[in-house]
A and B are shown apart, each in its own frame.
Chain A
């Protein structure tokens, strides 16, 4: 329980640090976003715009009231964000939350499915390769795994768009679902969602599973040589129990750190993939915001991607503590 509590406190701390950093980047940087916004406001409103009016506009966009003392600005900014107010998008002329809010589930859908697919397929394949160590299947899979592991997801995405999207017209090349459909739990809608999501998910999953397979293979080969496995066989345990409770668990657990790093990689990769497939997720808006110099939207997108990732990693970490008895072991080491 203490482990879980510590982990949760840390997650909240992470979000707090990121939000504070975003304030620092927007507010404190000379020649940074705030100056840009002020120049833009003057350009739009002409010279007859009063300083108060400009500040009011900036405050509406960024939640930063420049005339207040710095610590008040900071507190108000933090307060607004934790109330769910991310300011106002300049480009869309709408609250940031209204634009990014609906995009969150779609990004989570893409990244979550891709991770799940890559991990399960990779781990199963890796375990199978380990059991058949040295066979032709093992050698071939290792080769394919190496090549996939050396390919970035966006390359696969671009190839998918070019060949499966444009050339063969098997899959749509943009959007979350067919625009004619109304969202709901109807079969045509869900099919359309899968149809639109398939290529983005696959392009992230395909490059991931090679890596998982290779590390699972390595771990499983190591576990297969462990003393406890030999002891388990001599004790007459069933093959099934040995495979699941001994090999699988002990081989998968060391991959958890990798899983956490992968969560980050997938969220980062999604930014590029969403743009290739014109898929309106957080990453899509993030890039739009950057191209349009829409600082409030950019910061909002960044903070929300971080929050999504923090949640994902916290869940992974908590399940790890539950699966591996060694994780709870106290950190009480002597210091030198």
Chain B
């Protein structure tokens, strides 16, 4: 696939052709193909995830960046078939338990099968840790009930819980006896990460896990995350609106704009060599110590709402480079470099047209 040039979206993929899918997605642990989430409003459909195809590779941290309402949480939810009613998820999500084995098609699982994938294989950390715990049950209760619900050995599981908590620099005895409201934001967020890992999953989806924390706590949790990933052999999807936060952590970055992927590639490529106008506008809006505030620019216009997504490139209405083609047709994928693709009609014009001072040559 890397040798192909400009392949038009949506990709065609036969659902039955498992081997083809395997070849398509080397080294993927979760592969999303043509993933869409729609809500059926009274007189119109609202699409909150529009035909997204992306791989989470084994052992990597994939950062998904987008502004609020860009569909990034929907992507994570779709990956464990957890989109809330009445949202409808279409497309395919394949989970590869073994690197050379057969995939599990997550969206087609029965309730019982889903039960043995969710949390046991693919787990999730929500934003707002405090509200993710039952306020009237201590933290221990949350671990125990999860183990019981999945028929795990509670004693061994609790031993693991203690290990996890101390790996996250928490005092297991104190945390387990506490209620969520007695913990600080950073503590409850780390307790929630421990809870998400209690059933030894291989994939961890993190939905803005640090959004509610202060900068110092964000940094320290991110550095813990690297260690945890190595120790427990995890593949992590890290969702955030904070591009600089995730840039240093993630192996690859995917930029989401208005329910579809604008650009995806290795982190240093996206930061230093972006070929999508939106990514570059995002980078331009990042404050750094060197840049004076006057040179920072917010992005013009507003993001489209799910019921009125523009035809053609979703970013076209706000894009200074937009042409007629941009406003009518879906832009093709352009492979800038191996592993780095951008959805733009004229990627070659982008670096010249949108310049910014910070990190132009790789930060």
Contact = CB atoms under 8 A, between A and B. Distances in A.
Interface string B77-92: 0001010100000000
A227 B138 contact: no
A236 B132 contact: no
Contacts of A325: 135-136, 138, 179, 181
Interface in A200-224: none
Given A235-B146, A236-B150, A228 B132 contact: yes
Given A227-B128, A329-B181, A234 B118 contact: yes
Contacts of A253: 136
Contacts of B131: 226-228
A293 interface: no
Nearest to A235: B146
B149 A236 contact: yes
Nearest to B146: A235
A323 interface: yes
B175 interface: no
Interface string B227-250: 000000000000000000000000
Interface residues of A, number: 22
A241 interface: yes
B356 interface: no
A226 B132 CA distance: 8
B39 interface: no
B149 A228 contact: no
Nearest to B138: A325
Contacts of B82: 234
A326 B132 contact: no
Contacts of A226: 131
Interface in B176-196: 179, 181
Chain B interface: which size bin?
Answer: 20 to 34
Contact of A250 (B84, B134, B149, B179): B134
A234 B136 contact: no
Given A228-B132, A325-B136, A234 B80 contact: yes
B252 to A, nearest CB: 25
Interface in A311-336: 323-326, 329
B135 A234 contact: no
Interface in A28-63: none
A231 B136 contact: no
A235 to B, nearest CB: 5
Contacts of A324: 136
A189 to B, nearest CB: 43
A326 B82 CA distance: 31
A324 to B, nearest CB: 6
Contacts of A329: 181
B118 A236 contact: yes
B119 A234 contact: yes
B145 A237 contact: yes
A329 B181 CA distance: 10
Interface in A177-199: none
A230 B119 contact: no
A238 B146 CA distance: 10
Nearest to A246: B134
A249 interface: yes
B324 to A, nearest CB: 44
Interface in B118-164: 118-119, 124, 126, 128, 131-138, 145-146, 149-150
Nearest to A325: B179
A225 B80 CA distance: 19
B138 A238 contact: no
A221 to B, nearest CB: 15
B54 to A, nearest CB: 21
A136 interface: no
A249 B119 contact: no
Contacts of A236: 115, 118-119, 146, 149-150
Interface string B97-130: 0000000000000000001001100001010100
Contacts of A238: 149
Given A228-B131, A235-B119, A250 B124 contact: no
B277 to A, nearest CB: 35
B122 to A, nearest CB: 10
Given A227-B126, A227-B128, A235-B119, A245 B146 contact: no
Which of A226, A227, A228, A237 gathers the greatest number of chain B CB atoms within 10 Å? A228
A333 to B, nearest CB: 15
Contact of A241 (B84, B133, B149): B149
A232 interface: yes
Given A231-B126, A234-B124, 6 more contacts: A234-B118, A235-B149, A237-B149, A245-B145, A253-B136, A329-B181
Interface of A: 226-228, 230-232, 234-238, 241, 245-246, 249-250, 253, 323-326, 329
24 contacts: A227-B128, A227-B131, A228-B131, A231-B132, A234-B82, A234-B118, A234-B119, A235-B145, A235-B149, A236-B118, A236-B119, A236-B149, A237-B146, A237-B149, A241-B145, A241-B149, A245-B137, A246-B134, A250-B135, A250-B136, A325-B136, A325-B181, A326-B179, A329-B181
Closest 6 pairs (CB-CB, A-B): A227-B131, A231-B132, A325-B179, A236-B115, A236-B149, A235-B146
